[in-house]
Amino acid sequence: MAHDPEDHPPGVPRWVKVSLIAVAALIALLVILMATGVLGGDHGPGRHLSAVAVLA
């Protein structure tokens, strides 16, 4: 009884693990790009300010 296959349920398939890691990496990349301003353009609270308020 060194290693009985009925003792342990089957693990998560490899494709599920790889898919989850890829999705998590993509989400992390998007968050980093949005936080640094590379992605998102002029969106944010500053776009609602007038040009005078931004320069002052």
- Is the pLDDT confidence value at 51 over 90? no
pTM of the shown model: 0.57
Judge whether 34 and 40 are in contact, CB under 8 Å: yes
pLDDT, tens digit, 9 for 90 and up, residues 31-50: 888 888 777 766 666 667 76
Label residue 40 left, alpha or beta by phi (over 0 means left) and psi (-120 to 50 means alpha).
left
Residue carrying the six token digits 């009925």 = 6
pLDDT, tens digit, 9 for 90 and up, residues 11-31: 999 999 999 999 999 999 998
Q: What is the pLDDT of residue 11?
A: 92
Who wins on pLDDT, 11 or 4?
Answer: 11
